[in-house]
Amino acid sequence: MSYSDGQTGTVIYSGESPGQVLLAGTVTKGDCLGYSSGWQRSLGTTGGVIPFRAVAAEDGVSGQVIKVYFGETVVGGRFSGATAGGALYVAEGTSNGQYTQTLPSTSGDLTSVAGYMVTATIAHLLPGFNQDTAA
């Protein structure tokens, strides 16, 4: 089975540094979030990079205040087929808010590690960790 981030069925097992943010877009529980003209889904693509700063603790829409985790967070349920011990990155393209195990390779893409897979389905996420590095 190949890696997939389905963005559904997310279970948050633990999260550090809880807080709240006002959303500037629609998010799904477990999404990686960053700030760019408001809190929204992170993106690793050149020209549109939104660094990973928090994990959404609940679903929400633009204008809504939701709970987030700014520190280490353990998430499961949304991943399948991952390589245990493998690094995660903020996805690029149109996959806002998703994680990928493929290191972005285009110059200017966000290449910082977003976390690691503990098992094929559970991730240990690190918001804000080394997040300003680009390819």
CA 72, CA 18: separation in Å to the nearest integer? Answer: 10
Residue 133 lies in a domain: no
pTM score of the predicted model? 0.92
Return the residue matching tokens 């020209």: 47
Residue 120 lies in a domain: yes
Domain range for 103 is 4-125
Residue 115 lies in a domain: yes
Residues 66-115 have pLDDT tens digits of: 999 999 999 999 999 999 999 999 988 777 899 999 988 888 888 889 99
Residues 1-20 have pLDDT tens digits of: 699 999 999 999 999 999 99
- Residue of 57, 86, 91, 61 lying closest to 74 (CA atoms): 57
Number of domains in the chain: 1
Residues 16-70 have pLDDT tens digits of: 999 999 999 999 999 999 999 999 999 988 888 899 999 999 999 999 999 999 9
Residue 47 lies in a domain: yes
Residue 132 lies in a domain: no
